[in-house]
Structure 1
Amino acid sequence: MNAVTDQQKQAFREEVSAWLRANKPADPGFLLPQSFMEVGSEQQLDFLREWQYKVWSAGYLGMAWPEAYGGRGMDPVFQAIADQEMRRQAVPICFNVIGLGWAGPLINDIGSEADKARYLKGILTGEDIWCQGFSEPDHGSDLGNAQTRAVRDGDDYVINGTKIWTTMGNFAKYMILLARTNPQAERKYDGLSFFLSPMDVPGIDARPIRKLTGEYGFTETFFTDARIPADCLMGQEGEGWKIAMKTLQYERGAEAGAAGGLAFVRIVIDDMIDQLRDVRRDDAPVLDDPVVRDQLVQLVMEEKAITLGDRRANIGALSNDYPFSLQLSNKLRFTENTRRMRQFAINLQGADGALYVGDEEARQGGFWQRAYLNSFSATIGGGTSQVQANIIAEHILGLPK
C-alpha cells in the first residue's frame, strides 16, 4: 500500500468535515447517551442505530476493514481522520462499540472466513448489536475464576451461569462469552473457552440494571440450560483465556483494528473552561482564583500528556525503553484523568454542583454532574483502575505480583 500523502489526508479531512456539517442530526428532544454504556431505551437505540448506519453508508466507519465484509480496505489513517472530525464536530456516538472495537477486530484477526462473512457487516451497519459476557457477580475482577459452565451436548453447548455488566445485553443479538468447559483443568485458566454466542435462544435472560444516574445500559444476564450451536466456539476448547486476553487488548486500547466512530462524548479541558467562565465565587470569577488556576494547569498538563503519549506510542524509537507501556497504560491514564476533570468541574460550581439533570437551576442542564457519575463505569469496565495498575506494575515494570 502506497504511503498516504499530506495532500490526500487534508482533502479527505475536508470531505469528512463537510459531510458531517451537512448531516449532523438535530437535537432529538430527548436525552442522548454520553457513551455506549448508557443506551437504555428503544428511543435512544433507534436514533443511534440510524446515525451509525448513516455514517457507515457514507463510508466513514470500518474504513480499514476488508471490502468483502462491509469495510473499504483503506489505510487506517483515513479512519483516524474521520474519528477526529467526528470528535471535533461533536456528533452522536456510534453505539455498537463492543462489536466495532472488540468483537469485530478479534473476528477480523483470528476468525474464520465464515465468521467474518456472518458477523462483520452487521456490526458496522448497527443491525447486529454485541455485548460482552466476561465478568460474573461472585468473582469481581477475578476473570480467570469464571464459573459459567458450557457443556458439550452433541452439536450444541449447554450454558448455565450468570454474567454481570453486560452492556446493552437486553438489546444484543450476540455476546462474546467466556465460559468454563473443563472444571477439572489443573490451571483454572486452561478450563475456559471463548464463544460467539447468540442471545436470542431460550434460556438467556438479560435484565437491565438501573444505575446511580437513573439511567440504564448495563444488564445482568442469566443462562439456564441455554443451548448454543457448537460452531460458536472460537478457537479450541481451553483457549478461552488466551482469546479473552487478546480481546481485552482491544478494549484497553493496546491493539489496533477497531472500526472507528465515537464511543463516548469527548469532553476536554477547553470545554470545561468555556462552560464555567461565568461561575463566580466571592464576587470574582472562580477561574481567576490562583489555587483553582494551579489545579486547572495540572489537569491541562495531564490531558496534553495523554494526547502526546498516544502519538508517541506510534513512534518506535520513542517507546523502546518500556515497549507497549503507553498502550497498556492508556486506559488507566485516560479514564482516571476524565473522572478527575469532571469532578473538578462540579467542585467549581460550588453549591450548584449538587444540582442534577431535571433541576431548572442546574448548569448546562446538569451535564457535568451526569458526566461525572457516568465516568465511573469506564474506570471499572475492561478491568478496574486497580487491576490496570497491577498490569502496569507486573508487565511493564517487572514488579512481583
Structure 2
Amino acid sequence: MAEQGVKDTPEQAQFRQQARAWLAENTPGEPPVRMPLTPLEIMTEDQLHYLQAWQKAAYDAGLIGCDYPVEVGGGGRANCQRIANEEMMAAGTPFLPNVIGLGMAAPTVFYHGQEELKRRLLPRLFSGEDIWCQGFSEPGAGSDLANVQTFAERKGDKWVINGHKVWTSLAHFAEWMILLLRTDKSVKHDGLSYFVVPIRPALGKGVTVRPLIKMTGETGFNEVIFEDLEVEDSYRLDELGKGWQVAMTTLLHERGAGDLVTPRSGGMQTRSAHITSARTLVALSRQTWRNGAPACEDPIIRDRMMQQVIREEGMAANQRRSRVTALQDHPMRLALQNKLLMSEIAQDTAAIAMEIEGAAASLYLADDAAPAGGQWPMSYMNSFGFTIAAGTSEVQRNILGERVLGMAKSK
C-alpha cells in the first residue's frame, strides 16, 4: 500500500499494480544457502550468485533504476522507485546485493560522470552484474574524510595510485570502486579528486584485497591496498580538485538525503529490517521465559519495548513527512535525523533482545538452539558498524547542530 499521507498519481498507481502483480508471481522462495542479514555480510559465491540473480530479475521487470533516464539503463519513470521499494519490502523479497552501487555509486556517476561513462556503467550496476564498493575510509584518516592520503600521480593521460583503504564492504566481490584520492598534497579539500576504478581486473596487479574478520565471524569488510595501479583519466568524475564536492553527493545518498538531489536506484531493504524490529522484539518476549514467566510480563522489559515501538512509529512518521516538500525546512534535517536515530534505535532494540534471551544470546546462527535463529546477537554486534558508517553518530549530531540548527562549531 502507498504510505499514509502520500497519494499515488494515476501513473504511479498503475505502476504499483504492475509491480505487485509481478512480485506475487516471481518472488523467490527460501534460498538454497544461509543468507546474511544485510548485503554487507555476503561471504560466499553461492550467496552472491543467488542474490545477483534476484537483482537481475527485478531489474528486468522494471523495479530497479526506475527513476533514471532510459538512456542510461533506467526505467524513465519519475518518482516510481519509492513505490517499487515499498512493494518489494511488503513482498518480503531478498535484499539487493549491490547496495553500495545502487545507494551511492549510481547517483554519483549519474550526477558527475560523463555521458559515455553513465551509459557504460549504470545498466550493469542496476542489474547487479557488476558489484561496487566504496574507497573512502583510511587507517590514518579516522572520521576526517578530507584527510585521506591515498595518492594519485598524473602520468600523461593516466594516473598512478598508491595507498591504503579500509572498511571496504563488498570489495572481495566488487568489479568497481568509487574512490576518493588525493591529487594535490599542498591543499586539503581542494587537493582531492574522485574516480571510478575497475579493481577486479587489477587484483594481484596493483590491487590487493584482504578480508577483515569482524567479531561476528563474518568477512564483509576488507582492506584494499593500491600499489602503482594505473587508471585512465576518463575514469575521473567531475573536475580535478573537485573530489570533495563529488564525495558530498555520495555521502548525501549514504545518509539518506540524496533523494532531494538525484534519482533513487533501488530497494535498500535488508532481512534485519524484517527480523529485528520492535514488533518482532515483542514476539520474542512472548516466546522467551524468564523467572518462570514470559519475558513480556516483566514490567521493566515491557516499558523498554514500548519505548522502542514509539521510536519506530516516530521514524515512520518522519519518513512520510520527508515525502512532503512543504514540510522540508532544510534538506539535511530529516535525512540526517533518520540516519542517526535509525542506527541507534536498531542498536537499542537489539540490546533489549539480548537481555531477554539471556545466556541463549551467546549462541551462534548455526546453533539449532539459538532463539530466533541467532539473528538478534548478530544484529547487536553489527549495529555498532551502522552507528559509525556514513559518519559516526557524533559527526551526525555536529552536522545537525552546526548546519541545520545554526549552533556554534564545536572545538
If the TM-score is normalised by the length of the shorter chain, which range does it land in?
over 0.9
Give distance in 1, aligned partners of 2:150 and 2:332. 32
What's the secondary structure of 1:398's corresponding residue?
A: coil
1:328 aligns with 2:328: no
Give distance in 1, aligned partners of 2:182 and 2:109. 21
Contact 1:165 1:218 in 2 (8 A): yes
Give distance in 1, aligned partners of 2:38 and 2:8. 33
1:197 aligns with 2:202: no
Counterpart for residue 132 of structure 2:
130
The 10-residue stretch of structure 1 (144-153 or 360-369) with the greater mean CA deviation from structure 2: 360-369
RMSD: 1.8
Q: What amino acid is the match of 1:143?
A: L
Identity between Structure 1 and Structure 2 (%): 41
What CA deviation, in whole Å up to 9, does each residue of 1:179-202 have, x standing for no partner?
A: 1111012xx111111111111232
Counterpart for residue 147 of structure 1:
149
Give distance in 2, aligned partners of 1:323 and 1:114. 30
Among 264, 267, 280, the alignment partner of 1:261 is 267
What's the secondary structure of 2:195's corresponding residue?
A: strand
Among 280, 283, 287, the alignment partner of 2:292 is 283
Give distance in 1, aligned partners of 2:117 and 2:172. 23
What's the secondary structure of 1:127's corresponding residue?
A: coil
What CA deviation, in whole Å up to 9, does each residue of 1:89-142 have, x standing for no partner?
A: 221111111111111111222222112111110101111111111000111111
Q: What amino acid is the match of 2:264?
A: A
Q: What amino acid is the match of 1:336?
A: E
Contact 2:103 2:268 in 1 (8 A): no
1:357 aligns with 2:365: yes
What's the secondary structure of 1:349's corresponding residue?
A: helix
Among 116, 128, 147, the alignment partner of 2:118 is 116
Q: What amino acid is the match of 2:97?
A: F
Contact 1:132 1:166 in 2 (8 A): yes
1:234 aligns with 2:243: no
Give distance in 1, aligned partners of 2:133 and 2:8. 38
Q: What amino acid is the match of 1:282?
A: N
Counterpart for residue 72 of structure 1:
75
Counterpart for residue 162 of structure 1:
164
Among 370, 383, 388, the alignment partner of 1:375 is 383
Q: TM-score, normalised by structure 1?
A: 0.94
Give distance in 2, aligned partners of 1:243 and 1:177. 11
The 10-residue stretch of structure 1 (3-12 or 310-319) with the greater mean CA deviation from structure 2: 3-12
Counterpart for residue 101 of structure 1:
103
Q: Write the mapping of 1:279-318 to structure 2, written as runs, cut at 5 A.
A: 279-318=288-327
What CA deviation, in whole Å up to 9, does each residue of 1:200-244 have, x standing for no partner?
A: 232011112111111111110000011011111111111111111
Give distance in 2, aligned partners of 1:33 and 1:356. 13
Give distance in 1, aligned partners of 2:212 and 2:64. 30
Give distance in 2, aligned partners of 1:48 and 1:366. 21
Counterpart for residue 3 of structure 2:
none
What's the secondary structure of 1:277's corresponding residue?
A: helix
What CA deviation, in whole Å up to 9, does each residue of 1:238-285 have, x standing for no partner?
A: 111111112100110011122112342213222222344221222222
- Count of aligned pairs: 395
Contact 2:284 2:353 in 1 (8 A): no
Contact 1:102 1:258 in 2 (8 A): no
Give distance in 1, aligned partners of 2:389 and 2:117. 26
Contact 1:132 1:177 in 2 (8 A): yes
What's the secondary structure of 1:92's corresponding residue?
A: coil
Counterpart for residue 279 of structure 2:
270
Among 91, 94, 98, the alignment partner of 1:92 is 94
Q: Write the mapping of 1:219-230 to structure 2, written as runs, cut at 5 A.
A: 219-230=222-233
Among 43, 56, 73, the alignment partner of 1:53 is 56
Q: What amino acid is the match of 1:386?
A: E
How far does residue 10 in structure 1 lie from its aligned partner after superposition? Answer: 4.5
Give distance in 2, aligned partners of 1:149 and 1:71. 34
Counterpart for residue 346 of structure 2:
338
How far does residue 11 in structure 1 lie from its aligned partner after superposition? Answer: 4.6
Give distance in 1, aligned partners of 2:192 and 2:322. 32
How far does residue 176 in structure 1 lie from its aligned partner after superposition? Answer: 0.8
How far does residue 323 in structure 1 lie from its aligned partner after superposition? Answer: 5.2
Give distance in 1, aligned partners of 2:348 and 2:342. 10
Contact 2:281 2:305 in 1 (8 A): no
Contact 2:112 2:246 in 1 (8 A): no
Q: What amino acid is the match of 2:194?
A: F
How far does residue 30 in structure 1 lie from its aligned partner after superposition? Answer: 2.2
Give distance in 1, aligned partners of 2:302 and 2:194. 49
How far does residue 61 in structure 1 lie from its aligned partner after superposition? Answer: 0.8
How far does residue 325 in structure 1 lie from its aligned partner after superposition? Answer: 1.0
Q: TM-score, normalised by structure 2?
A: 0.91
Among 231, 246, 249, the alignment partner of 2:249 is 246
Contact 1:97 1:263 in 2 (8 A): no
Give 4+ residue runs of structure 1 displaced > 4 Å after superposition.
3-11
